[in-house]
């Protein structure tokens, strides 16, 4: 969840948006190297206070270590705004921390709608509660060494 800043000529207000996403973090690494290659497949739903409902599907690619990393995540989006269909594209830079348990995302979204193109800038913060709960005992052991 976070603020949405619109560059649309009709509505330049900053509003609230909520993203609910289901996905996975798939890690690849070579033995002896701490650097990881990460894939982020995801499927989600976005609600904006202005009445926009979107479904999104994406596949991100990133790199980093287990504790911190970054990714580029392009997404296809489709949905409805005031009973009109909208289709577009969202691309994001994502910084992750604690094996993806916490993240900060900066996104640019382009939507095609009847009145023309709409560009938005999004700043989202997220957390993965099950992953953070799983990490707590491991963090304790790592810090006690």
pLDDT along the chain (145 residues), means of 10: 64 75 82 81 88 93 87 96 90 87 90 84 82 74 57
Rounded Cα distance between 61 and 3, Å, is 24
Taking the model in full, what pTM does it have? Answer: 0.79
Nearest to 14 by CA among 24, 5, 23: 5
Q: Mind listing the pLDDT tens digit for each residue in 60-86?
A: 999 988 778 899 999 999 999 888 899
CATH 2.40.160 fits 2-144, yes or no: yes
List residues bridging with 74 in a β-sheet. 91
Domain definitions of the chain by residue range: 2-144
């Amino acid at each position: 969840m976070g603020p949405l800043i619109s560059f649309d000529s009709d509505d330049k207000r900053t509003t609230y948006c909520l993203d609910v996403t289901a996905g996975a973090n798939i890690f690849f690494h070579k033995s002896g190297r701490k650097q990881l290659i990460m894939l982020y497949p995801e499927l989600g739903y976005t609600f904006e206070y202005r009445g926009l409902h979107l479904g999104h599907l994406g596949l991100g690619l990133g790199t980093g270590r287990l504790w911190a990393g970054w990714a580029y995540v392009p997404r296809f989006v489709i949905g409805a705004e005031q009973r009109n269909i909208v289709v577009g594209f969202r691309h994001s830079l994502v910084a992750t921390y604690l094996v993806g348990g916490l993240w900060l995302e900066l996104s640019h979204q382009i939507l095609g709608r009847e009145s023309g193109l709409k560009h938005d800038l999004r700043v989202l913060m997220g957390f993965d509660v099950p992953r953070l709960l799983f990490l707590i005992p491991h963090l304790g052991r790592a810090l006690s060494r």
